[in-house]
Amino acid sequence: MQAPPPVPPGSSPTEPGRPEMPAGGDRTPMAWADRLERDPTFVSRQIAGETILVPIRQNMGDLESVYSVNEVGTRVWELLDGSRTLGDIRDRIADEFEVGMEALARDLLEFLKQLQAIRAVRPAALPAGGSQP
């Protein structure tokens, strides 16, 4: 029997044995100047003090892929509105939580890569005018 995949920073399995984040996938390298936004095919809900991310595709929830994120992961999710750079999000999290910048940077990029792997985030749409600052 294979061991379950590791739990990513900012997440925890919702059920034992349920895959948390798929391995592999098309992961685009990220830079602190990049902007990401939540993909509209994912919804989040607060349930019993916990944030749950659920993919909604073709008007049907994929109950095999429900993700639970902790307080820091929830805050990152809230900040992923496309208006902030990843550096802005990193700095905001550093201001709001007691965490060292090096650990935060490493964990944040890993969490974002995992959100990217499950297609929960996407590059932000260009603002009106056609170019990002």
Q: What is the pLDDT of residues 56-102, one digit of tens each?
A: 875 555 566 789 999 999 999 999 999 999 999 999 999 999 999 99
- Dist CA 92 CA 42 (whole Å): 23
18-22, 35-39, 90-94, 109-113: least confident range: 18-22
Q: Would you say 51 and 68 are in contact if contact means Cβ atoms under 8 Å apart?
A: yes
Residue from 50, 86, 96 nearest 70 by CA? 50
Structural class in CATH, domain 35-119? mainly alpha
Domain ranges of the chain: 35-119
Q: Whole-prediction pTM value?
A: 0.71
Q: Would you say 80 and 36 are in contact if contact means Cβ atoms under 8 Å apart?
A: yes
Q: What is the pLDDT of residues 101-112, one digit of tens each?
A: 999 999 999 999
The residues, ordered by sequence, that sit 6+ positions from 96 with a Cβ below 8 Å of its Cβ are 75
Q: Would you say 118 and 22 are in contact if contact means Cβ atoms under 8 Å apart?
A: yes
